[in-house]
Amino acid sequence: MDAIVVSDVSKRFGSNQALNKVNLTVPVGEIYGFLGPNGAGKTTTIRCLMDFLRPDSGNIEVFGNNARTQATEVKKFLGYLPADMQLYDKWTAAEHIAFYESVQGIAVDAEKLIKQLDLNLTTEARHLSSGNKQKLGMVLAMMRRPKLLVLDEPTRGLDPLLQEIIYTLLREYRDAGGTVFISSHNLAEVEKICDHVGIIRAGEVVASESIDAIRQMNSHIVTIRFTKPFKPADFKADNITVMHKTDLQLICKVKGDLNPLLKKLAAHPVKDLEITHASLEDAFMEYYAS
């Protein structure tokens, strides 16, 4: 059984088609990064998953439960952190934790998380910095060890040290069998911690692959240094895009099979050759350019 299965979900706000037949599957025990720029439909998808918004059509299942008709059941094993965590101004972190416990039962990991995140329990929420609010949000989402974590841009506005702590927490949680669905537009972050990635563009999921596959399936960046000047025309091919060239150097992006380029290279005196996988950013930009 998959952790999340989104099937043909559409949502329209007036004339704006926010989601158009979105399909994606989040495997159990993985960190799934949901990528897209602002307004692409990431938060709308998450709000539909959380039953805040009701899709016009389609279906969302969380561990086999319908996210709409069994929303209360789903939220028993789900931890959620919104992009902009809103807290009760006059409550302290301890009071927020106590309220959550009164609704959903004892938080087995609360103390551990408070310690790991160095959370101040006694300051009223209105006096907390955005980083501390986010820390509290992470504690509230994770403290009762849910089966699934849904995080909407969890590290937005956080300093690198705190970001690293959160990445560690998420990896530990994943290694303990938990599943994470994380939306982000921070490509480096997704590349760093995610096992799977889905890319949404204008309300449509344009890719949903493992992070390795998404790198492999697209392109390589090839840097060639020659011992004497070369003719760029010799390297003209459908799957080769020249990114930069000098008399003795050529940097190009090769989409798909590398062999045609290597065959062409055999006829030239090469001083040095460097082949790297295109980054997630390259893949992401490619999806958005197409």
Pull the structure tokens for residue 122. Answer: 């006694």
Distance of CA 255 to the CA centre of its chain: 24
For residues 58-77, which are near other proteins according to CB under 8 A?
71-73, 75-76
18 is written with which tokens? 């926010």
* 53 in contact with other proteins (CB under 8 A): yes
Q: Answer yes or no whether residue 106 interacts with other proteins by CB under 8 A.
A: no
> Which residue lies nearer to other proteins by CB, 26 or 149?
149
Q: Which residue in 37, 88, 232, 281 binds other proteins (CB under 8 A)?
A: 88
Residues with Cβ < 8 Å from 69, sequence gap 6 or more?
Answer: none
Which amino acid would we find at residue 76? K
Q: How far is the CB of 140 from other proteins (least distance, A)?
A: 8
Task: State the minimum distance, in angstroms, from the CB of residue 45 to other proteins.
Answer: 13
Alpha helices by DSSP H, 176-274: 187-193, 211-216, 259-265
Q: Which stretch binds other proteins (CB under 8 A): 60-68, 98-106, 169-177, 222-230?
A: 98-106
For residues 96 and 220, which CB has a smaller minimum distance to other proteins in the complex?
Answer: 96
What residues form DSSP beta bridges with 124?
Answer: 92
Nearer to other proteins, 36 or 82 (CB): 82
Q: How far is the CB of 98 from other proteins (least distance, A)?
A: 9
Site for other proteins in 258-277 (CB under 8 A): none
Q: Smaller CB distance to other proteins: residue 109 or 286?
A: 109
Site for other proteins in 193-252 (CB under 8 A): none
Give yes or no for a contact between 96 and 125, defined as CB atoms under 8 angstroms apart: yes
State the minimum distance, in angstroms, from the CB of residue 186 to other proteins: 22
Supply the minimum distance, in Å, between the C-beta of residue 96 and other proteins. 8
Check residue 153 for interaction with other proteins (CB under 8 A): no
Q: Which stretch binds other proteins (CB under 8 A): 86-94, 170-178, 199-207, 265-273?
A: 86-94
Contacts of 150 (CB under 8 A, 6+ apart): 46, 49, 50, 78, 79, 80, 81, 181
Measured at the CA of 46, the angle between CA 57 and CA 218, to 5 degrees, comes to: 95
Per CB under 8 A, the list member of 37, 39, 84, 262 interacting with other proteins is 84
- Is residue 28 part of the contact set for other proteins (CB under 8 A)? no
How would you classify the pairing of strands 196-201 and 204-210?
Answer: antiparallel
Q: Kindly determine how many residues on this chain lie close enough to bind other proteins according to the rule CB under 8 A.
A: 24
Kindly report the length of the chain: 290
Complex with other proteins: residue 87 or 283, whichever CB lies closer: 87
Q: What whole-number distance in Å separates Cα of residue 83 and Cα of residue 156?
A: 8
Asked if 47 interacts with other proteins (CB under 8 A), we say yes
Q: Which of 2, 142, 170 is nearest to 78 (CA)?
A: 142
Q: Return d(Cα 26, Cα 34) in angstroms, integer.
A: 10
Task: Identify the CA nearest to 186 among candidates 83, 86, 100, 264.
Answer: 83
Three-class DSSP category at 274:
strand
Task: List interacting residues with other proteins (CB under 8 A).
Answer: 47, 50-54, 71-73, 75-76, 78, 80, 82, 84, 86-88, 99-104
